[in-house]
Amino acid sequence: MPEWIRIADVPTYYYHQTGEKLPNPGTVRHWMKHGKRGYSGTLVKLRYRVRNGLWFTTKAWVDEFIGRIGRIVFDEIPRCNGRLADNIQESDQGV
């Protein structure tokens, strides 16, 4: 049986997992109803259940949500002198 956590407890768990700023519980509710745009451009929704008028999710669902949003690893993006490689081609053509 999953361990249900209230919507008010999700921001603290999210902060500990990601290190990002502490989201508002209203923001978490928005992620549940409307979703959050992931770094790949896809819309990802946080899974939830409503029980007795209260919104609940599980830590496993929050971890899945974080994983599906994805994070950019900046070391893997091609760079040259601190600029993105795509911008270099556009700006250096006129030189």
pLDDT grade for 82, boundaries at 50, 70 and 90: low
Q: How far apart are CA 15 and CA 25, in angstroms?
A: 12
**Which residues span the domain enclosing 35?**
4-92
Query: pTM for the complete prediction?
Result: 0.71
Q: How far apart are CA 85 and CA 31, in angstroms?
A: 33
- How many domains does the structure of the chain reveal? 1
Residue-wise pLDDT for 2-32, tens only, equals 799 999 999 999 999 988 899 999 999 999 9
pLDDT score recorded for residue 70: 84
Residue-wise pLDDT for 56-75, tens only, equals 999 999 999 999 998 644 44
